[in-house]
């Protein structure tokens, strides 16, 4: 009996040292993930591997591909084929803009016309095994989808790129004759938030990927098809502090 009690005590002590996972959290999203970007540990998940439409959160990947294949000061001449339906930074055929200006338009005001033609497949290298990208802008397509887990992997990868972080954490910028304001409300309301990307289409609903650096760690949160995403992300990103 004494030996059994010792074993039980050791087991209880071991369990007390295991980090608590935040499974009790309730979010409005159809799918969600909270990840420690530094370690890859999943702190919370809901339908993490369900394949879903992701809308403009696609542009996290688009921007990373551009950063890996072009210089920020490279000049682009806008052509009619660069235009796309959906949200816009109001490009005009014939005008010339730098890659950096176009990336601000892509990440801050979600300009689809800044994205066309720039998408390449880098998802496999990142480890996004449940994703398929058919366009650079996130417009609805049966062959364009991802998962909350994959988008968290993408966000963690993006958070290690200082130029990407600088761009997506900018609240407002005037460049190339345009003033562009970031749609991400979490930059103003969540401590340590360094941005990422919002998204919406009628079919996808509201999608959101966010990142915050708090307490010496980097956290990424993803919600797909979530009508209460601002509140859900604020709650998710504060969970480790409450635990």
Residues with a catalytic annotation lie at 56, 59, 110
Instruction: Please name the residues in contact with 72: beta carbons below 8 A apart, sequence gap of 6 or more.
Output: 98, 99, 100, 103, 163
Identify whether the C-beta of residue 213 lies closer than 8 Å to the C-beta of residue 194. yes
79 - beta bridge partners?
A: none
Centre a 10 Å sphere on the Cβ of residue 57 and count the other Cβ atoms it contains: 26
Q: Which tokens sit at 192?
A: 């340590």
The beta strand positions in the chain, using DSSP E, are 31-36, 42-46, 75-77, 96-98, 172-175, 178-181, 193-201, 205-214, 217-224
Q: Nearest CA to 217 among 198, 186, 238?
A: 238
Residue 55: phi and psi, rounded to 5, are 50, -140
Instruction: DSSP for 7-67, please give it.
Output: HHHHHHHHHHHSPPP-TT---S-SEEEEEETTT--EEEEESTT--B--GGGGHHHHHHHHH
């Amino acid at each position: 009996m004494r030996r059994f009690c010792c074993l039980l005590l050791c087991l209880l002590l071991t369990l007390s040292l295991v980090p608590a996972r935040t499974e009790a959290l309730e979010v409005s999203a159809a799918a969600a993930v909270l990840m420690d970007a530094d370690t890859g540990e999943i702190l919370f998940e809901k339908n993490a591997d369900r394949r879903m439409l992701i809308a403009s959160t696609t542009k996290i990947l688009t921007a990373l591909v551009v950063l890996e294949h072009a210089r920020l000061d490279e000049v682009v001449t806008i052509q009619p084929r660069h235009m796309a339906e959906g949200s816009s930074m109001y490009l005009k055929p014939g005008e010339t803009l730098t890659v950096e200006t176009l990336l601000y338009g892509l990440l801050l005001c979600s300009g689809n016309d800044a994205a066309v033609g720039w998408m390449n497949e880098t998802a496999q290298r990142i480890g996004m095994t449940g994703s398929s990208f058919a366009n650079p802008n996130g417009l609805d397509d049966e062959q364009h989808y991802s998962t909350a887990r994959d988008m968290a992997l993408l966000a963690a990868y993006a958070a290690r790129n200082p130029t990407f972080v600088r761009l997506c954490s900018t609240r407002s910028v005037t460049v190339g004759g345009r003033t562009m304001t970031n749609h991400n409300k979490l930059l103003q309301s969540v401590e340590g938030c360094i941005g990422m990307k919002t998204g919406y289409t009628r079919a996808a609903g509201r999608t959101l990927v966010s990142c915050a650096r708090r307490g010496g760690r980097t956290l990424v949160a993803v919600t797909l098809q979530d009508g209460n995403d601002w509140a859900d992300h604020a709650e998710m990103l504060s969970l480790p502090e409450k635990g």
